[in-house]
Amino acid sequence: MSTVISKETIFTFQVTESYAKGQFKKGGASLKRDAQMKDIPTCQTGTDAETDFDLPDFFPYQTRVFYKCVSEAVARVYVDEYGMKPYEWRALAILGMSNSYTPAELVTLSSMDKVTVSRAIASLSKRGWLLSRSNKKDGRSRILRTSAEGQKVFSHLVPKMRAVEQEILGGLSQDEISELRRLMRKVVDGS
């Protein structure tokens, strides 16, 4: 069995220099075929189509590239404004919607593991953005909610986060945005 490596182009997110510097303007981020990225090899082993592997066309890889572009754009807001970590923002975003949750519920809602949620709780509490009280239904757990200061931070960040969301989606029509969200839900529901 021989291995043939061929160079392919790759779908990548290109972020303009102004966007990377936090200057959000229409057209700042776009998905396009980048003919310059020819370093990603395609591996074909033998003639069996099932063993061929083309990393740029591999959906999990494409998803990771997509995630990185989106998360970096969003992170600029909470990092620049408050020096927050992604796990802090995620916990604050969930609790900031005027909700109270246990740490276990935060794990489920945030898609973060227990250790990361515990780190977020400790950090947000240290900043004075989180309040905790005993859970009357279960004496072993706590009920968490944002403090007045935490709610103020959340309320300050939300419009800026929505602006980044609009920038990211700016090149899509409303129908395309709806279809993208529908397809994302379909993939998640099917897994």
pLDDT at 144: 96
Instruction: Please count the residues of the chain.
Output: 191
Half-sphere exposure in the Cβ direction for 48 (13 Å, CA):
5
pTM of the predicted protein model: 0.70
Summarised one tens digit per residue, pLDDT across range 38-74 is 455 555 555 566 678 889 999 999 999 999 999 999 9
Summarised one tens digit per residue, pLDDT across range 135-182 is 888 888 899 999 999 999 999 999 999 999 999 999 999 999 999 999
* Dist CA 96 CA 94 (whole Å): 6
Alpha-helical segments (H) within the chain:
17-20, 59-82, 86-95, 103-110, 114-126, 148-169, 174-190
- Using DSSP bridges, classify how beta strands 29-34 and 142-146 pair: parallel, antiparallel or unpaired: unpaired
* Dist CA 154 CA 97 (whole Å): 8
pLDDT at 39: 52
188 contacts: CB under 8 Å, gap ≥ 6: none
Average pLDDT over residues 77-100: 94
Domain boundaries, the chain: 1-56, 58-190
Q: Which CATH class is domain 58-190?
A: mainly alpha
Q: Quick check: 130 and 119 in contact, CB under 8 A? A: no
Summarised one tens digit per residue, pLDDT across range 9-30 is 222 233 323 333 343 333 344 3
Beta-bridge partner residues of 185 = none
Residue type, 125: S
